[in-house]
Amino acid sequence: MMSWGDALWLGLTARFARVGRLRRAVLMLAAAACTAAAVLYWKQQTDDSANRPLHSMYSGIEPQWSWLCQHDRCERYQASDTTTLQSLQTCNMLCASTQLWPQPTGPVSLASAAVPVRSDRFSLKVIASPSRDVTKHLNEAFIVMQNHMRTLEHGVVGENRRSDIGPPRDVLVKVSVNGSGDPRMRLDTNESYKLALRPSGNSLVVDITAHSFCGARHGLETLLQVTWLDPYAGSLLILEAATVVDAPRFPYRGLLLDTARNFFPVSELLRTIDAMAANKLNTFHWHVSDSQSFPWKLDSAPQLAQHGAYGPGAVYTSDDVRTIVKYARIRGIRVLMEIDTPAHVGRAFGWGPEAGLGHLAHCIEAEPWSSYCGEPPCGQLNPRNPHIYDLLEHVYREIIQLTGVDDIFHLGGDEVSEQCWAKHFNDTDPMDLWMEFTRQAMHVLERANGGKAPELTLLWSSRLTRSPYLERLDPKRFGVHVWGASQWPESRAVLDAGFRSVISHVDAWYLDCGFGSWRDSSDGHCGPYRSWQQVYEHRPWATETPESAAWPVEGGAACQWTEQLGPGGLDARVWPRTAALAERLWADRAEGATADVYLRLDTQRARLVARGVRAAPLWPRWCSHNPHACL
């Protein structure tokens, strides 16, 4: 039997324990390579008598349960029936499976012993940094990590710290970044990192090495995951030793949030971004406007929000955008702002005639809507009005300036209605108008981006990205954000044709599905609900076809459209399902939602809750208390 009491006192050296079952072989090799492994092997102590639980030393409410690690499982006991007192959190961290999320992709070894620490005893030393900017970001990211630790410590009520766990250790975090001097998350950013945590005298030393700020930040996130609050000890604990070698499988790992169908205050966006960082996601796809509303007040075109926002309380200023971008950047996340055109626009573009610019858009709120768009209200830009391209250039320039993202751009291009344009331009095939619009939008985008096209310009999958129109798009310039169902032939065709793609298949990664229709009493257009297991198990690139091996998949994104969601429900709708996606895109384990995944996700959900995210529970708390009993 192993308790944390044993671990704290007797774990002089770390027994390097194994992690996920699959990696056993890999780790055996790693262990063999490490000649010290044999020396470090530490025989488990079983002498319980020396470590009687000191219930009386615990000054809070007397713990009710104790979890003991038996056969690689945490079993729950009445505290009064056991001789050791161990919290669920600590048992989970020390017993069998690694509790990291997303699961690292390289070799991992984690000690099965823990030592007490305190947030203010962590210090950062930047050993190597390619630029002052990276150093500055490292310092800020370190403070973010420390603040999260401090939040955990707030969970300790009063002076409940157990006196027998020893003094908190100092932790020196040494970070070396050898590589890019640009702290931004970019398409070519190397996000890999190595983390080595080891005891050194009475303190701990952590070495994080990476090739970018973003990689080093991921290392800090992992360090945060091996630190937890033990409510019985009344202290933060950290694994005494750990090595992690890690890198993501896909470079683009995103979450889309639609702030147009319903408005979300800045605080909600920030909390969402922080939760993304906890899962090593790297792209906040901000679908900022749509036909229902245009909440962003641009400096260069304030008319859009004036005419398009729901009201004065539902507006994002440029300062708001800057706040969000800065917050995200310290967390290794790019903010990809999408102003969807030429469809999905509305009253925000209705002021052209009065400003002497002619009609900037057609079909605004046209009826019957089902003739001119996919959902009310309708609206589509006027591709023949040259002023629209000037306006878009302003919009694009401001997006690039504010977000600092100039290597990826999202043009939108979702659900263009041919009928709408056909009604106004009976001399031209609407598909030709659409193609021409896209070309011109690309042209002004280049101008807005200093004369250079972004490396990857995304379009939503649509009729334009289907044959015979797909052939008219240049795969070197355009990428496709595939939202169609995974089984639709056109969803595969873009990949077969070599277009770099971001995947958001509606049948797996649309988080808005399954809440009935908002326009009638049917079950809605894309039900049923996608469970976290479905999100997790979706691996469209792992099909049997020979072509799929060569698919240029950049990654994927979960989509939270918000026709039926307001601020209050955001967290529970998005989390923990998006965490499931995060591991799919980071680690892409061949396995589905196995028992190990349930338990680790449950732990990750608890981490999110501790961070202030109101994530939905996976199951009754009883199942968390009795790991494996509900599996």
Give the active site residues. Answer: 415
User: Does 530 participate in binding other proteins (rule CB under 8 A)?
Assistant: yes
Residue (184 or 344) nearer to other proteins, CB: 344
Residue from the set 318, 534, 548, 594 that interacts with other proteins by CB under 8 A: 534
Residue (382 or 624) nearer to other proteins, CB: 624
Residue (310 or 469) nearer to other proteins, CB: 310
Residue (41 or 518) nearer to other proteins, CB: 518
Give the sheet arrangement for strand 334-339, strand by strand: 334-339, 283-289, 252-258, 553-560, 501-503, 478-482, 456-460, 408-412
Residue 219 makes CB contacts below 8 A (sequence gap 6+) with 175, 193, 194, 195, 208, 209, 210, 244, 246
DSSP state of 49: G
Residue 142 makes CB contacts below 8 A (sequence gap 6+) with 122, 124, 173, 175, 220
Residue (167 or 566) nearer to other proteins, CB: 566
Residue from the set 125, 150, 452, 614 that interacts with other proteins by CB under 8 A: 614
Closest distance of CB 122 from other proteins, Å = 29
Residues 23-82 that bind other proteins (CB under 8 A): 61-65, 78
- Residue 284's DSSP bridge partners are 255, 335
Interface map 242-261 toward other proteins (x if CB under 8 A): ------------------xx
**Block residue for tokens 């922080």:** 274
Residues 204-243 that bind other proteins (CB under 8 A): none
Residue from the set 567, 591, 610, 611 that interacts with other proteins by CB under 8 A: 567
User: Does 533 participate in binding other proteins (rule CB under 8 A)?
Assistant: yes
- Contact segment (CB under 8 A) with other proteins among 213-221, 362-370, 424-432, 437-445 equals 362-370
Residue (35 or 521) nearer to other proteins, CB: 521
Residue 295 makes CB contacts below 8 A (sequence gap 6+) with 259, 260, 263, 288, 289, 305, 308, 309, 310, 314, 315, 316
Residue (77 or 389) nearer to other proteins, CB: 77
The residue among 155, 88, 103, 124 whose CA lies nearest residue 611 is: 155
Residues 300-329 that bind other proteins (CB under 8 A): 306-307, 310-314
- Contact segment (CB under 8 A) with other proteins among 278-286, 416-424, 478-486, 563-571 equals 563-571
Contact 218, 206 (CB under 8 A): no
User: Does 371 participate in binding other proteins (rule CB under 8 A)?
Assistant: no
Ramachandran angles phi, psi of 288, nearest 5°: -80, -35
User: Does 616 participate in binding other proteins (rule CB under 8 A)?
Assistant: yes
Helix axis angle for 132-153 and 213-225, nearest 10°, is 20
Interface map 99-118 toward other proteins (x if CB under 8 A): --------------------
Pairing of strands 16-17, 193-200: unpaired
Q: Concatenate the DSSP letters of all residues of 348-379 into one string.
A: GGTTTGGGTS--SEESTT-SSGGGT-SSSSP-
User: Does 622 participate in binding other proteins (rule CB under 8 A)?
Assistant: yes
Closest distance of CB 519 from other proteins, Å = 4
Contact 460, 336 (CB under 8 A): no
User: Does 564 participate in binding other proteins (rule CB under 8 A)?
Assistant: yes
Residue from the set 185, 494, 618, 627 that interacts with other proteins by CB under 8 A: 618
In one letter, which amino acid is 422?
A: A
d(CA 561, CA 567) in angstroms, rounded, equals 12
Residue 629: alpha-carbon gap to chain centroid: 29
Instruction: Map residue 234 onto helix, strand or coil.
Output: coil
Ramachandran angles phi, psi of 279, nearest 5°: -110, 10
Token couple for 581: 């996606």
Closest distance of CB 354 from other proteins, Å = 9
User: Does 263 participate in binding other proteins (rule CB under 8 A)?
Assistant: yes
Residue from the set 104, 342, 413, 524 that interacts with other proteins by CB under 8 A: 524
Write down how long the chain is.
Answer: 631
Closest distance of CB 60 from other proteins, Å = 9
Closest distance of CB 602 from other proteins, Å = 11
In one letter, which amino acid is 41?
A: Y
Residue from the set 106, 181, 475, 617 that interacts with other proteins by CB under 8 A: 617
Residue from the set 166, 358, 386, 566 that interacts with other proteins by CB under 8 A: 566
Residues 455-514 that bind other proteins (CB under 8 A): 514
User: Does 521 participate in binding other proteins (rule CB under 8 A)?
Assistant: yes
Q: Concatenate the DSSP letters of all residues of 584-608 into one string.
A: HHHT--SS-S-HHHHHHHHHHHHHH
User: Does 292 participate in binding other proteins (rule CB under 8 A)?
Assistant: yes
User: Does 377 participate in binding other proteins (rule CB under 8 A)?
Assistant: yes
User: Does 518 participate in binding other proteins (rule CB under 8 A)?
Assistant: yes
- Residue 559's DSSP bridge partners are 256, 510
User: Does 531 participate in binding other proteins (rule CB under 8 A)?
Assistant: yes
Residue 332 makes CB contacts below 8 A (sequence gap 6+) with 141, 185, 191, 213, 214, 217, 218, 277, 280, 282
In one letter, which amino acid is 10?
A: L
Contact 228, 151 (CB under 8 A): no
In one letter, which amino acid is 605?
A: R
Contact 419, 362 (CB under 8 A): no
Residue from the set 569, 591, 610, 611 that interacts with other proteins by CB under 8 A: 569
Closest distance of CB 270 from other proteins, Å = 18
The neighbour count for residue 212, using CB atoms within 10 Å, is: 27
Residue from the set 507, 563, 588, 591 that interacts with other proteins by CB under 8 A: 563
Does the bond joining 576 to the residue before it have cis omega, within 30 degrees of 0?
yes
Residue (44 or 78) nearer to other proteins, CB: 78
Closest distance of CB 527 from other proteins, Å = 5
- Contact segment (CB under 8 A) with other proteins among 222-230, 322-330, 484-492, 568-576 equals 568-576
Closest distance of CB 262 from other proteins, Å = 5
User: Does 293 participate in binding other proteins (rule CB under 8 A)?
Assistant: yes
d(CA 167, CA 250) in angstroms, rounded, equals 42
User: Does 520 participate in binding other proteins (rule CB under 8 A)?
Assistant: yes
